[in-house]
Amino acid sequence: MKALTVGGAMIDTIAIIASDRIERMSMRNADISFLLLEEGRKSEAQEISTHCGGGAVNAAVAMARLGLDVAVLAKVGQDERAESIMARLMAERVSTRWISRDARAPTGASVLVSSHDRNAAVFTFRGANTLLELTDLRDEAFQVDLVYIANLSNKSADCFPELIAKAKRNQALVATNPGVRQLSARGRAFLDCLSSIDILALNRNEADVLVPGLIADFGEGGPVLPAHEGAETPPPLAVRGLIGGGFEMGLVAFLKALLSRGPKHVLVTDGANGAFVASGGEVLYCPALTVANVAGTAGAGDAFAATFAGSLALGKSGADALRAATLNAASVVAHVDTQTGLMTRAAIDERVAAEHLTVHRWAL
Q: Which residues of 254-272 are buried (b: 16+ CB within 10 A; e: fewer)?
A: bbbbbbebebbbbbbbbbb
The least confident of 22-36, 157-171, 290-304, 344-358 is 22-36
Give the Cα separation of 8 and 156 in Å (integer).
Answer: 10
Q: What is the pLDDT of residues 202-243, one digit of tens each?
A: 999 999 999 999 998 999 999 999 998 888 899 999 999 999
Res 88 pLDDT > 90: yes
Please give the full DSSP string across 181-235, using - where no structure is assigned.
HHHHHSHHHHHHTGGG-SEEEEEHHHHHHHHHHHHHHH-SB---PPPPTT-SS--
Q: How far is CA 64 from the centre of its chain?
A: 16
Helices (H), the chain: 55-66, 80-91, 160-169, 180-185, 187-192, 204-218, 236-240, 251-260, 300-313, 318-333, 345-355
Which pLDDT score, from 0 to 100, does residue 319 have? Answer: 96
**37 located within any domain:** no
Which pLDDT score, from 0 to 100, does residue 18 have? Answer: 83
Q: Which amino acid is at 359?
A: V
Q: What is the pLDDT of residues 65-79, one digit of tens each?
A: 999 999 999 999 999
Res 95 pLDDT > 80: yes
For the chain, the domain total comes to 1
Which range of residues forms the domain containing residue 300?
A: 2-18+44-363
**36 located within any domain:** no
| Model pTM score | 0.94
**29 located within any domain:** no
CATH code, 219:
3.40.1190.20
**34 located within any domain:** no
Give kind and range of the element (H or E) at residue 263. none
Which pLDDT score, from 0 to 100, does residue 30 have? Answer: 65
**28 located within any domain:** no
Confidence at 292, pLDDT banded by 50, 70, 90: confident
Query: What is the share, in percent, of the chain residues with pLDDT greater than 90?
Result: 79
Mean of per-residue pLDDT scores for the chain: 93
The least confident of 45-54, 291-300, 321-330, 338-347 is 291-300
Q: What is the pLDDT of residues 108-131, one digit of tens each?
A: 999 988 876 667 788 999 999 999
Which pLDDT score, from 0 to 100, does residue 43 have? Answer: 83
CA nearest 336: which of 71, 63, 48?
Answer: 48
- Going 197 to 198 to 203 to 209, the CA torsion angle's sign is positive
**27 located within any domain:** no
Q: Between 27 and 9, where is the model more confident?
A: 9
Res 273 pLDDT > 80: yes
Q: Between 43 and 50, where is the model more confident?
A: 50
